[in-house]
């Protein structure tokens, strides 16, 4: 190999190394463990997250909790008050709208996929009509974030471990590169 080619390869390797270091300081990769974020993300889903991003309602965030990192959806932002009617949140007096869009069978039970709209955010969650949540306490977010799983009746979230402080947030999901293992979902057909 000539001296010029060797220098070219060294320069290319230096650029790749610098890009990898920059990526690691600004972003990261994570895998989803479990079914907590169905219907969108199943076990083994892969995401790219940004370490320094503005957090908005509806965003998926990763945060430190109990010695690990957890992925959940932001429902309440700092300074908001939340109340609940079963799994349906109300934020500062604005109740989420729920529209059934599909059916899914999980854990041997028939459930609905529901499109949730709340204060500008739109996402899908799973509702088990036979397992209704009751007694969810009201919450004030203070300076933190109120997060919920998309498989609401089965997965822990801020209802169990409280508001997430900003310094516990690892990052905001920017890109999903794999949806993981998900069950078949049947759209609800409506008469014309």
Tens digits of per-residue pLDDT, 47-62?
999 998 999 999 999 9
Residue pointed to by tokens 């949540």: 133
Mention every residue, 6+ apart, whose C-beta is less than 8 A from residue 65: 161, 164, 168
CATH of the domain at 151: 2.10.109.10
Question: In this structure, is residue 156 part of a structural domain?
Answer: yes
Could you give the angle at the alpha carbon of 107 between the alpha carbons of 39 and 121, nearest 5°?
20
Question: In this structure, is residue 3 part of a structural domain?
Answer: no
Question: In this structure, is residue 9 part of a structural domain?
Answer: no
Structural domain including 96 reads: 28-187
Q: Which has more confidence, 80 or 11?
A: 80
pLDDT of residue 77: 98
pLDDT of residue 87: 82
Total Cβ atoms within 10 A of residue 10:
10
Question: In this structure, is residue 44 part of a structural domain?
Answer: yes
- Domains contained in the chain, number: 1
pLDDT band at 45 (very low <50, low <70, confident <90, very high): very high
pLDDT band at 130 (very low <50, low <70, confident <90, very high): confident
Question: In this structure, is residue 4 part of a structural domain?
Answer: no
Lowest mean pLDDT among 21-25, 29-33, 76-80: 21-25
pLDDT of residue 96: 96
Question: In this structure, is residue 12 part of a structural domain?
Answer: no
Report the chain's mean pLDDT, rounded to a whole number. 89
pLDDT at 108 over 70: yes
**Stated pTM of the model:** 0.86
| Burial class of residue 146, CB neighbours in 10 A (0-12, 13-18, 19+) | buried
Question: In this structure, is residue 75 part of a structural domain?
Answer: yes
Lowest mean pLDDT among 13-22, 100-109, 120-129, 183-192: 13-22
pLDDT band at 185 (very low <50, low <70, confident <90, very high): confident
Question: In this structure, is residue 11 part of a structural domain?
Answer: no
Mention every residue, 6+ apart, whose C-beta is less than 8 A from residue 67: none
């Amino acid at each position: 190999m000539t001296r010029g080619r060797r220098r070219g390869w060294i320069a290319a390797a230096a650029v790749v190394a610098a890009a990898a270091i920059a990526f690691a300081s600004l972003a990261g990769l994570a895998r989803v463990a479990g079914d907590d974020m169905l219907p969108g993300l199943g076990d083994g889903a892969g995401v790219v997250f940004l370490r320094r991003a503005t957090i908005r309602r509806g965003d998926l965030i990763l945060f430190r909790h109990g010695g690990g990192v957890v992925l959940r959806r932001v429902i309440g932002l700092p300074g908001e008050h939340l109340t609940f009617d079963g799994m349906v949140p109300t934020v500062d007096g604005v109740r989420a709208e729920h529209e059934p869009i599909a059916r899914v069978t999980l854990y041997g039970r028939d459930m609905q996929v529901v499109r949730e709209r709340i204060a500008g955010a739109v996402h899908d969650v799973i509702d088990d009509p036979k397992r209704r949540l009751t007694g969810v306490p009201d919450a004030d977010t203070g300076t933190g974030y109120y997060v919920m799983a998309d498989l609401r009746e089965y997965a822990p979230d801020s209802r169990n471990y409280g508001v997430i402080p900003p310094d516990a947030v690892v990052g905001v999901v920017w890109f999903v590169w794999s949806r993981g293992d998900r069950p078949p979902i049947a759209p609800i057909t409506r008469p014309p």
